[in-house]
A and B are shown apart, each in its own frame.
Chain A
Amino acid sequence: MDFLRPASWEEALAAKAAHPTAVPIAGGTDVMVEINFDHRRPEYLLDLNRIGELGDWEVGEESVRLGASVPYTAIMDHLRGELPGLALASHTVASPQIRNRGGVGGNLGTASPAGDAHPALLAAGAEVEAESVRGSRLIPIDDFYTGVKRNALAPDELIRAVHIKKAAGPQQYSKVGTRNAMVIAVCAFGLALHPDTRTVRTGIGSAAPTPVRARAAEDFLNAALEEGGFWDNGKIITPSVAKQFAELCSGACNPIDDVRGTASYRRHAVGVMARRTLTWTWESYRGTDGTAQQKGRVA
């Protein structure tokens, strides 16, 4: 196994072009586990740790450009206001040690359906900045996940950053695991209200071959909110609306039975999380001037 250590982004792109099978490594919290257990033995490892800019983020007018290697800890500490859903998701990632090393770029690169960031990215709306020696492109998050642990990157492309829409309304994130910390998701759910566009977006993790949105549930809720004038009158969402939204979210799942949980439980739990996160976000929206005040206090 060769270890490639580019000193700059351009060198990294050149290396990836020369060795398309090279596996990029930054925090190493996923890749190193695979290597240690001999589950995977890539021909080349492409170490991105010398490229400082990957650890930077910029807060723009519309979105946050989050460098691929920004650790989860930094998202929790610095971007809670702009990216509340992703900050909550970051909090559920493994342990403090792992959160100090791992970042969203790795989650996207691996594209595991159990990756904690995905439901938050799907709900917020995001674009993945992919680049190769051929040029740069922005891949909408909705098109990014193409199969179990597969993504839309070309073999010569690297993830440089993720552009995530800044929260215009409340966002929530819930994850079920069979332990109260340091656990891989049995299933997860992200929800973002977008009062600026009068839409809601969802994200479901670990309950289908890829992270998915519950589009039918979103369409139903968008219509129900619009029809009742809820965005303006700030009325309480009726239990029947919440219930149907939850059922549609369950219906968006295509889960399996495995050692972490049954398919039936996953569908059930996604429904419960959908209903609860809808209540939390909507209560937050109507209880305030529309800013994204989060109800769940996290340390």
Chain B
Amino acid sequence: MTTDTTAATATGTRGPVTASAPVGTPTKVTQGAGTKGGIGESTLRPDGTLKVTGEFAYSSDMWHEDMLWGQILRSPVAHARILSIDTGEALATPGVYAVLTYDDLPTAVKNYGLEIQDTPVLAHGRVRHHGEPVAIVAADHPETARRAAAKIKVEYRELPVVTDEASATAPGAPLLHEDRDDHHIGHVSHPNIVHRQPIVRGDVEAARRRADHIVEGEYTFGMQDQAFLGPESGLAVPAEDGGVDLYVATQWLHSDLRQIAPVLGLPEDKVRMTLSGVGGAFGGREDLSMQIHACLLALRTGKPVKIVYNRFESFFGHVHRHPAKLHYEHGATKDGKLTHMKCRIVLDGGAYASASPAVVGNAASLAVGPYVLEDVDIEAIALYSNNPPCGAMRGFGAVQACFAYEAQMDKLADAVGMDRVEFRQLNAMSQGTLMPTGQRVDSPAPVAELLRRVKAMPMPPEQQWLAAGEQADVRQLPGGLSNTTHGEGVVRGVGYAVGIKNVGFSEGFDDYSTARVRMEVVGGEPVATVHTAMAEVGQGGVTVHAQIARTELGVAQVTIQPADTQVGSAGSTSASRQTYVTGGAVKNACELVREQVLEIGRRRFGTYHPAWATAELLLEGGKVVTDGGEVLADLVDVLEDEAVEVEEEWRHRPTEAFDLRTGQGNGHVQYSFAAHRAVVEVDTELGLVKVVELACAQDVGKALNPLSVIGQIQGGTTQGLGIAVMEEIIVDPKTAKVRNPSFTDYLIPTILDTPTIPVDVLELADDHAPYGLRGIGEAPTLSSTPAVLAAIRNATGLDLNRTPVRPEHLTNQS
């Protein structure tokens, strides 16, 4: 390779060069090396300017002539029998076209779900959580629909609520789902437990006896919301063939389709889905929201139906991050080597399963963190409860575990009397380490190096609020413009954390993507067209796919087709997997197209030059060239009016299920690592926190688009900061009702809460992955939270075993 594969970084520091040509050897041309706008460049997002200027059409902006508006009536209580539903007055409201309840569902399939089909499309005789859909209305105006929904009379008889492990497993506890027949029921100890995954390895009791220091901790992780800015929305248009066209903001079109079609009683090819503008996802669009409701209303009324949640409804309209209780015990020798770990992780999945089983698998298999630990006893479970359903969110089970094990690492380092970073480095995993699942880490795992890098970054100056002059610049202080301190009570703290996240779908899931790539001459120029069903939710796939096509096909013009179900599944935009898997599928399809194009070339021009038969041929700058750089033909001449098109599925290495008793198995595809150093200023008297800086170092394998990589790392870091100091859905433990379903009281970081985020990007190739890349979107969300908490503990001397931490926790006033 002649190109320097080092990515630009935000701090100006540079990662190692992973490969370079020996000095003095003649240059050998490789595919894509000379292509402008190919991989490794920070090409700009095609939708960037539109989004910044407010012109981008989000799913909530769609409009159709003669369109109706759908509205959902939701349960005001968390757990109740439905004694009766009277829709008469609602139906009689002028402008109302339809009011549907459970009894109107057209087929025997009345539930849906990602893995376990336990979620009712509309409540049947019982509601299990606050905000559960009970009835749906279509009307000619959104206000009319809202008012009509309010006129539906539902008689509830409230039932006792299950809100935590104790109430879920108490004798005589109400069962969330009495007649479970899913494949987890056989290995759980109680029907209110969705799934249980133990992982046992080595001999914990023997290892425990070797420990000079044992540290225990009980940790609580709050319920975080994805808080994507574009609320759930979509438009269903009934078609003449009896089918329906659905335009919707989602994370995985084909997974939606698989759940929608049976409820409607339609074959999958009659439910044509197209991705519409997505305003963020973070896991919250993995489950269905308004999709089936809009289709049911459209098919019933014969008119297009649009549904848009407002922010209040959005808090009830998608799953959240699992709140968790985590109990950890670690031991270490006096030299600072970890001896053993025991932990129990209890995740609250709420009323329906959603992604709970997979979150359990992740929490268990990543519970040790990025450390060498041979003797472990791990148990993770997810509960069914009457709390809001929880499922996928950025970090997916690994986030909760990281918060706890990183707190443990600090406590252990202190107990041993070692520097906290050195302690971690001493115990850090590396390539070749065995995970507790018995899986060998077979690509770079630069955990110690990432820690070294964040520690080596320059510290932000002290007392920055005095930098501008004699008077305090309150923006640099805790409380900001609320003017609560001019420096009084303010103490600085520094904390470190590192985490490990799996990339891609695990545990034997057939995690493939499909790409269709076409090459043809348009307007005298060779043009590549890439068509996938990948949901662009902001991650930058649309940018990266075009870069891959340019690199692999040597063309300047690439058209990215809208994502829809007219092409095969691209899998979910989650698990940090899209650049790896759909990017891999695009690369693969491009390679197949390239072979076919060269075949056409050989057929047409093979006799003109011997290199057609003998040399390695590349596509560069719209031409066929040899690996020595000699031009053989223009693509325009090779293709003439022929088009080459390939649609292919592509798979990463297969994974295995975890053994249900021992947790052993090669369950994960790839691992992703990030480390953070947090610097905070805490007003110790008022308990207010200003995060001054969150430095991050992350190994990305290969930065296909360095600007996007840094954006992902900064975004993930900020989302981790949110759950550290402010973000939490507060559920009343007595009623299981949500107390703060609005942006007034569910706080997410503003720009004044967002610190400087210097990023140091490493590129250590994973040879199993396309271009050596590593999924990057989630890892920074893991270590950000415990780093901030560690820094606050460092500033205050408090124990702080829950997140988010609020002012009352820091001032002993809770």
Which residues from chain A sit less than 8 Å from chain B, CB to CB?
36-38, 88, 91-92, 172-184, 186, 259-262, 264-265, 268-269, 272-273, 276, 279-280, 295-299
> What are the residues of chain B within 8 A of A276 when measuring CB–CB?
484-486, 488
Q: Looking at A91, A280, A297, which has the most chain B CB atoms within 10 Å of its CB?
A: A297
Within 8 A of A (CB), among B314-340: none
Minimum CB–CB distance for B644 against chain A, Å? 52
Say whether B415 faces chain A, with CB atoms less than 8 Å apart: no
Contact assessment for B747 and A179 in the assembled complex, using a CB-CB cutoff below 8 Å: yes
> What are the residues of chain A within 8 A of B473 when measuring CB–CB?
297, 299
Contact assessment for B471 and A264 in the assembled complex, using a CB-CB cutoff below 8 Å: no
Contact assessment for A296 and B750 in the assembled complex, using a CB-CB cutoff below 8 Å: no
Minimum CB–CB distance for A20 against chain B, Å? 25
Bound CA–CA A147/B19 (angstroms): 72
> Could you list 10 further interchain pairs (A-B, Cβ under 8 angstroms) beyond the known A176-B479, A181-B752, A296-B474?
A88-B483, A176-B688, A178-B725, A179-B753, A180-B481, A261-B806, A264-B808, A265-B807, A272-B685, A276-B484
Bound CA–CA A265/B814 (angstroms): 7
Minimum CB–CB distance for B708 against chain A, Å? 27
Contact assessment for A181 and B481 in the assembled complex, using a CB-CB cutoff below 8 Å: yes
Contact assessment for A259 and B740 in the assembled complex, using a CB-CB cutoff below 8 Å: yes
> What are the residues of chain A within 8 A of B745 when measuring CB–CB?
184, 259-260
Q: Looking at B483, B753, B814, which has the most chain A CB atoms within 10 Å of its CB?
A: B483
Bound CA–CA A174/B477 (angstroms): 13
Given contacts A91-B481, A179-B726, contact A295 B808 (CB under 8 A): no
Looking across the interface, which residue of chain B has its beta carbon closest to that of A294? B471
> What are the residues of chain B within 8 A of A179 when measuring CB–CB?
726, 747, 749-750, 753
Contact assessment for A259 and B483 in the assembled complex, using a CB-CB cutoff below 8 Å: no
Contact assessment for B730 and A261 in the assembled complex, using a CB-CB cutoff below 8 Å: no
Contact assessment for B310 and A297 in the assembled complex, using a CB-CB cutoff below 8 Å: no
How many chain B residues touch A (CB < 8 A): the figure is 46
Contact assessment for B483 and A172 in the assembled complex, using a CB-CB cutoff below 8 Å: yes
Bound CA–CA A36/B478 (angstroms): 33
Looking across the interface, which residue of chain A has its beta carbon closest to that of B732? A259
Bound CA–CA A268/B725 (angstroms): 20
B482: contacting residue among A36, A92, A261, A299, CB under 8 A: A92
Given contacts A276-B485, A297-B468, contact A184 B744 (CB under 8 A): yes
Top-7 shortest CB links A-B: A180-B480, A265-B813, A297-B471, A181-B752, A265-B808, A175-B482, A264-B813
> What are the residues of chain B within 8 A of A279 when measuring CB–CB?
488
Contact assessment for B688 and A297 in the assembled complex, using a CB-CB cutoff below 8 Å: no
Contact assessment for B750 and A180 in the assembled complex, using a CB-CB cutoff below 8 Å: yes
Bound CA–CA A279/B486 (angstroms): 11
Please list 14 pairs of residues, one from A and one from B, whose beta carbons are closer than 8 Å in the complex, sorted by A's number: A36-B310, A92-B483, A174-B483, A177-B482, A178-B688, A178-B807, A180-B481, A180-B482, A181-B480, A186-B807, A259-B745, A261-B808, A265-B813, A296-B471
Per DSSP, are chain B's interface residues mostly helix, strand or loop, or mixed? loop
Looking across the interface, which residue of chain A has its beta carbon closest to that of B150? A38
A181: contacting residue among B686, B739, B750, B814, CB under 8 A: B750
Contact assessment for A265 and B811 in the assembled complex, using a CB-CB cutoff below 8 Å: yes
Say whether B312 faces chain A, with CB atoms less than 8 Å apart: yes
Say whether B668 faces chain A, with CB atoms less than 8 Å apart: no
Say whether B469 faces chain A, with CB atoms less than 8 Å apart: yes
B808: contacting residue among A91, A182, A262, CB under 8 A: A262
Minimum CB–CB distance for B99 against chain A, Å? 19
A92: contacting residue among B481, B686, B806, CB under 8 A: B481
Looking across the interface, which residue of chain B has its beta carbon closest to that of A186? B807
> What are the residues of chain A within 8 A of B479 when measuring CB–CB?
174-177, 180
> What are the residues of chain A within 8 A of B478 when measuring CB–CB?
180
Say whether B472 faces chain A, with CB atoms less than 8 Å apart: yes
Contact assessment for B469 and A175 in the assembled complex, using a CB-CB cutoff below 8 Å: no
Say whether B306 faces chain A, with CB atoms less than 8 Å apart: no
Say whether B394 faces chain A, with CB atoms less than 8 Å apart: no
Contact assessment for B483 and A261 in the assembled complex, using a CB-CB cutoff below 8 Å: no
Minimum CB–CB distance for A247 against chain B, Å? 14
Given contacts A181-B750, A297-B473, contact A37 B312 (CB under 8 A): yes
Contact assessment for B483 and A296 in the assembled complex, using a CB-CB cutoff below 8 Å: yes
Q: Looking at A92, A175, A181, which has the most chain B CB atoms within 10 Å of its CB?
A: A181
Say whether B690 faces chain A, with CB atoms less than 8 Å apart: yes
Looking across the interface, which residue of chain A has its beta carbon closest to that of B689? A180
Given contacts A260-B745, A295-B471, contact A280 B806 (CB under 8 A): no
Contact assessment for A298 and B813 in the assembled complex, using a CB-CB cutoff below 8 Å: no
A183: contacting residue among B472, B747, B811, CB under 8 A: B747
Contact assessment for B687 and A265 in the assembled complex, using a CB-CB cutoff below 8 Å: yes
Within 8 A of A (CB), among B447-491: 468-469, 471-475, 478-486, 488-489
> What are the residues of chain B within 8 A of A182 when measuring CB–CB?
750, 752
Bound CA–CA A269/B808 (angstroms): 9
Bound CA–CA A71/B690 (angstroms): 29
A262: contacting residue among B469, B730, B813, CB under 8 A: B813
Bound CA–CA A100/B488 (angstroms): 32
Contact assessment for A180 and B808 in the assembled complex, using a CB-CB cutoff below 8 Å: no
> What are the residues of chain B within 8 A of A172 when measuring CB–CB?
483
Minimum CB–CB distance for A248 against chain B, Å? 18
Minimum CB–CB distance for A296 against chain B, Å? 5
> What are the residues of chain A within 8 A of B482 when measuring CB–CB?
92, 174-177, 180-181, 183
Contact assessment for B726 and A298 in the assembled complex, using a CB-CB cutoff below 8 Å: no
Contact assessment for A268 and B811 in the assembled complex, using a CB-CB cutoff below 8 Å: yes
Bound CA–CA A298/B483 (angstroms): 8
Say whether B146 faces chain A, with CB atoms less than 8 Å apart: yes
Contact assessment for A295 and B747 in the assembled complex, using a CB-CB cutoff below 8 Å: no
Bound CA–CA A299/B749 (angstroms): 20
Bound CA–CA A37/B743 (angstroms): 12
> What are the residues of chain A within 8 A of B686 when measuring CB–CB?
176, 269, 272-273
Within 8 A of A (CB), among B733-789: 739-740, 742, 744-745, 747, 749-753
Contact assessment for B807 and A175 in the assembled complex, using a CB-CB cutoff below 8 Å: no
Bound CA–CA A37/B744 (angstroms): 12
Contact assessment for B750 and A91 in the assembled complex, using a CB-CB cutoff below 8 Å: no
Bound CA–CA A183/B753 (angstroms): 12
Interface flags, B654-694, vs A, CB<8A=1, else 0? 00000000000000000000000000000001111010000
Bound CA–CA A299/B474 (angstroms): 9
> What are the residues of chain B within 8 A of A264 when measuring CB–CB?
808, 813-814
Bound CA–CA A175/B688 (angstroms): 11
Contact assessment for B486 and A280 in the assembled complex, using a CB-CB cutoff below 8 Å: yes
> What are the residues of chain B within 8 A of A37 when measuring CB–CB?
310, 312, 742
Looking across the interface, which residue of chain A has its beta carbon closest to that of B722? A179
B474: contacting residue among A38, A262, A268, A298, CB under 8 A: A298
Bound CA–CA A299/B472 (angstroms): 11
Looking across the interface, which residue of chain B has its beta carbon closest to that of A181? B752
Minimum CB–CB distance for A234 against chain B, Å? 20
Bound CA–CA A97/B310 (angstroms): 20
Contact assessment for A174 and B484 in the assembled complex, using a CB-CB cutoff below 8 Å: yes
Minimum CB–CB distance for B690 against chain A, Å? 6
Contact assessment for B813 and A180 in the assembled complex, using a CB-CB cutoff below 8 Å: no
> What are the residues of chain A within 8 A of B811 when measuring CB–CB?
265, 268-269
Minimum CB–CB distance for A298 against chain B, Å? 6
Minimum CB–CB distance for A271 against chain B, Å? 9
Bound CA–CA A98/B474 (angstroms): 21
> What are the residues of chain B within 8 A of A180 when measuring CB–CB?
478-482, 688, 690, 750, 752-753
> What are the residues of chain A within 8 A of B725 when measuring CB–CB?
178
> What are the residues of chain A within 8 A of B747 when measuring CB–CB?
178-179, 183
